[in-house]
Amino acid sequence: MKPERVSRTQSVVDGLLDAIIAGRLVAGETLPAEADLATLLGVSRLTLREGVRLLQAQGVIVPVPGSRHRVAPVDEWTGLEAVVRYSRSGGARRRSSLDLIDMRVMFETGAAELAAPKCTPAHLAQLTTHLEKMRSAHAHGDVPGFVDADLAFHDVIFAAADNRILVASVRPLTAMLEDSRSETSSVRDIREHAIVEHAAVLDAMRTGSADAAREAMVSHMRQTRADLLHYVLGE
């Protein structure tokens, strides 16, 4: 498929997802006629079909033999890209925030456990550098810099875990993680808590103990959830 076609097909995917998330296309209802949708999105009918096929592969659109396709309920969506896009919308904010924490507990604690025995001096040096950047950014009230260093710290742990499937599974969540971190890291107390927890994770990684690293990351995730509930969601 040519790059221009890919771009137009993605515009169909984005346009339809935006319409579904905004409620202009409703779950359980059929899609408008193909010609009408193509005109609305400013694409050819061939490009529209390609975009619809991509959304079918993600469980967003369900083919109905002999009739127009219908929109599936969000709970039936199977594609991570579509689910993440929905989760970043305002109406799903609370649930998606907590779902993301639960997902991070599974991914991040496992990554820390895998990474600790494999952590090289180079990995430890990178973790130390990122932690110092977090401290410096916090001291200067640089929230974007703090978020960048925070994400980079965790990226090193995923890299040290040396599991390509794990890395590929986490990658689609990057945009959502960045949004979440930016929101929570704007709170000074949360940044202070994060620095303490990251320092404990680094100390555990230095021991090379899988159990110690896992426990340190569990503590970090527990603190992250508590801060989210208290400072951001007001619970």
- Does residue 86 lie within any of the structural domains? no
CATH of the domain at 116: 1.20.120.530
Q: Output 67 or 179, whichever has higher pLDDT.
A: 67
- Does residue 156 lie within any of the structural domains? yes
The verdict on 77 and 97 lying in the same domain is: no
**Residues 124-149 pLDDT 10s:** 999 999 999 999 999 999 999 999 99
Residue 93 has pLDDT above 70, yes or no: no
The verdict on 65 and 108 lying in the same domain is: no
Count of C-beta atoms within a 10 Å radius of residue 209: 15
Q: Output 101 or 159, whichever has higher pLDDT.
A: 159
pLDDT, residue 177, reads 73
pLDDT, residue 90, reads 60
Longest dimension (CA), the chain: 63
Count of the separate structural domains present in the chain: 2
Q: Domain of 33?
A: 3-81
- Among 81, 107, 139, the domain boundary falls at 81
The verdict on 156 and 105 lying in the same domain is: yes
